């Protein structure tokens, strides 16, 4: 397997593209970077170092629908006729299905109001999202499900569904140098805690689903993980535990905000947690707060009232809400 590291700054930045079977068919890419001219040049240069051009790609596996992972898929497909595969939950969005995209935009607008995002911030965000819509292509896709096996020119990849950050987020498992290795997409990242709640507003109970995903990453005992951004993760279970720890701390912080502030909407909680936000963070900040508030509501720690989320249990036991790091060892 070869990796091409892209230098993009949009979204989380520095997307990774993985190449399986540079010397043998089917030559397969896992993710393919955001659709900007610079990224396209970097991808083309990276492939040419392996003696490949875009026209040589037979298959593209996508970890999820976000523009920075999908963007160049349709350009590559045009040149090569590559088969583009993505989990069924994300397939309509990737394929540019109008109904799926409109349903998502409508729900986004509805939630932004429900979260209490002020009109000027909403407008700033929607302008930003419109500007980015063109960074997503609309390739023809073949949907897959958990457990699907894909042959590549360099061994098989098996899909593993890791929802939370996105509804269809899937990793791919393969026999690597150190043993059973995972291409993790944005399910676990080396530096950032992947956003939940805002990054894909279609996900129901986003924090609960994401915590289940993290526990699964721990249980699977992968020997190494190759994320969608930046550098390899040598201890995927350790990183998953760290991220669970962040969410545990954040749950405590959300409870503290409500205790000090009284009933509050997601925007107010977000402002207390993250301060002032711009561009995509206007979606990600309150989305993250919402994911936690929704989780607390499901556990009867808070209730939704007209004045916002109100603390019902003043001193909740965090153990029942987020797995303890020890309990998943």
Nearer to Zn ion, 161 or 257 (CB): 161
- Among residues 10 and 318, whose Cβ is nearest to Zn ion? 10
Q: Which is nearer to Zn ion, 69 or 301 (CB)?
A: 69
Q: Are 196 and 281 in contact (CB under 8 A)?
A: no
Cβ-proximal residues to 262 (8 Å cutoff; 6+ apart), any chain: 307, 310
Helices (H), the chain: 37-49, 67-70, 73-80, 91-94, 98-114, 119-133, 206-220, 236-261, 266-274, 281-298
Q: Shortest approach of Zn ion to residue 226 CB, angstroms?
A: 13
Q: How far is the CB of 200 from Zn ion (least distance, A)?
A: 8
**Cα(104)–Cα(128) distance, integer angstroms:** 16
Cβ–Cβ under 8 Å, residues 309 and 265: yes
Whose Cβ is closer to Zn ion: residue 4's or residue 257's?
Answer: 4
Token digits of residue 301? 């720690």
Residues that bind Zn ion (CB under 5 A): 12, 66, 68, 186, 228
Strand partners, 176: 179
> Which of 186, 294 has the CB closer to Zn ion?
186
Nearer to Zn ion, 66 or 295 (CB): 66
Distances (CA, A) of 120 to 91, 139, 253, 269: 32, 34, 27, 18
CA angle 37, 42, 47 (to 5 degrees): 125
Least distance between Zn ion and beta carbon 95 (Å):
18
Give me the least distance between CB of 313 and Zn ion, in Å please: 33
First to last CA, the chain: 30
Q: How far is the CB of 320 from Zn ion (least distance, A)?
A: 29
Residue 293 beta carbon to Zn ion: minimum distance, rounded to whole angstroms: 22
């Amino acid at each position: 397997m070869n990796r091409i590291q892209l230098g993009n700054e949009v979204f989380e930045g520095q997307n990774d593209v993985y190449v399986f079977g540079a010397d043998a068919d089917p030559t397969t890419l896992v993710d393919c970077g955001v659709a900007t001219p610079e990224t396209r040049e970097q991808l083309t240069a990276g492939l040419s170092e392996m003696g490949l051009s875009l026209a040589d790609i037979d298959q593209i596996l996508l970890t999820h629908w976000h523009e920075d992972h999908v963007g160049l898929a349709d350009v590559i497909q045009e040149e090569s006729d590559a088969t583009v595969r993505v989990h069924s939950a994300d397939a309509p969005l990737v394929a540019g299905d109008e109904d799926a995209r409109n349903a998502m935009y409508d729900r986004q607008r509805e939630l932004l109001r429900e979260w209490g995002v002020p009109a000027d911030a909403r407008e700033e965000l929607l302008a930003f999202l419109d500007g980015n819509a063109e960074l997503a292509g609309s390739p023809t896709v073949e949907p897959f499900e958990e457990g699907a096996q894909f042959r590549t020119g360099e061994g098989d990849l098996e899909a593993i569904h890791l929802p939370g950050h996105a509804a269809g987020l899937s990793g791919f498992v393969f026999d690597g140098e150190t043993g059973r290795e995972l291409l993790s997409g944005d399910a676990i990242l080396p530096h950032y805690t992947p956003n939940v709640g805002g990054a894909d507003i279609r996900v129901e109970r986003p924090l609960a689903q994401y915590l289940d995903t993290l526990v699964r990453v721990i249980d699977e005992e992968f020997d190494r993980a190759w994320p969608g951004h930046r550098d390899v993760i040598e201890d995927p279970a350790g990183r998953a535990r760290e991220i669970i720890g962040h969410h545990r701390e954040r749950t405590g912080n959300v409870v503290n905000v409500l205790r000090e502030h009284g009933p509050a909407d997601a925007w107010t909680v977000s402002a207390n947690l993250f301060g002032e936000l711009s561009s995509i963070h206007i979606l990600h900040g309150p989305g993250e707060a919402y994911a936690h508030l929704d989780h607390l509501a499901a556990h009867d720690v808070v209730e939704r009232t007209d004045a916002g989320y109100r603390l019902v249990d003043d001193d909740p036991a965090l153990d029942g809400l987020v797995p303890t790091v020890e309990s998943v060892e």
